């Protein structure tokens, strides 16, 4: 897919204030600092579109971007951010879960996972919750440029194996890097295919 335009639309904490659900929508979610905002910028080739930071907890709102005037890409705040208060964490859960379960135009949730790490409980639990709620999702392993391909493949295999305890089939996955743009075209192609159906 060629990105002809990529524009910021709105930032929200309230599900009822989101843009009208008239276009297909894809959301990026995952641990704080996993690289959600960076990957959105790499996919769209717009450096400052989504705000990124070395410090976890940068994205705090539901951010909508409109791509080619025809679909929404959504940057969500990360989960598992240790420095946040319990109250904030509960608040995050409340509004993100509400967004994910009520957003009728949401086509697929992309769950971002750091390819450098062994499977983490928080990511597996989140996938389980998506499955329980019947939400279609795919896995996006990030930061592939930071270690060898062999290491990434081992971690991906372990993660997929861990999911097999709950799922009959493991979801589609991508190995990506915001640094080298590895995998970004494949994600866009997948979105294109879903949009065409």
Residues that bind Mg ion (CB under 5 A): 36-37, 58-59
CA angle 51, 130, 186 (to 5 degrees): 55
Q: How far is the CB of 68 from ligand GTP (least distance, A)?
A: 22
Going residue by residue from 43 to 82, which x/- string records binding to ligand GTP, judged by CB under 6 A? ---------xxx-xxxx-----------------xx----
Region of residue 190 (left: phi > 0; alpha: psi -120 to 50; beta: else)? alpha
Residue 77 near residue 27 (C-beta atoms within 8 A): no
Partner interacting with residue 34 (select from ligand GTP, Mg ion, none; CB below 5-8 Å by kind):
ligand GTP
Footprint on residues 79-138 left by ligand GTP (CB under 6 A): none
Partner interacting with residue 155 (select from Mg ion, ligand GTP, none; CB below 5-8 Å by kind):
none
Q: Where are the alpha helices (DSSP H) in the chain?
A: 36-44, 86-102, 121-132, 149-163, 184-196
Q: How far is the CB of 149 from ligand GTP (least distance, A)?
A: 14
């Amino acid at each position: 897919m060629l990105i002809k335009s990529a524009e910021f639309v709105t930032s929200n904490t309230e599900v009822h204030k989101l843009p009208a659900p008239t276009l297909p929508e894809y959301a990026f979610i995952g641990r704080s600092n996993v690289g959600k905002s960076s990957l959105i910028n790499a996919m769209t080739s717009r450096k400052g579109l989504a705000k990124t930071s070395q410090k976890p907890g940068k994205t705090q709102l539901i951010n909508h971007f409109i791509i080619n005037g025809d679909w929404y890409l959504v940057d969500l705040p990360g989960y598992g951010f240790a420095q946040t208060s319990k109250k904030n964490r509960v608040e995050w859960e409340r509004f993100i879960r509400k967004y994910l379960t009520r957003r009728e135009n949401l086509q697929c949730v992309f769950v971002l996972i750091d390819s450098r790490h062994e499977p983490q409980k928080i990511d597996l639990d989140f996938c389980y919750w998506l499955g329980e709620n019947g939400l279609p999702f795919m896995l996006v392993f990030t930061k592939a440029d930071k270690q060898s391909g062999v290491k990434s493949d081992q971690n991906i295999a372990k993660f997929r194996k861990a999911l097999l305890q709950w799922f009959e089939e493991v979801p589609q996955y991508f190995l990506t890097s915001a640094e080298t743009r590895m995998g970004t075209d494949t994600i866009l192609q997948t979105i294109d295919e879903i949009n065409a159906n």
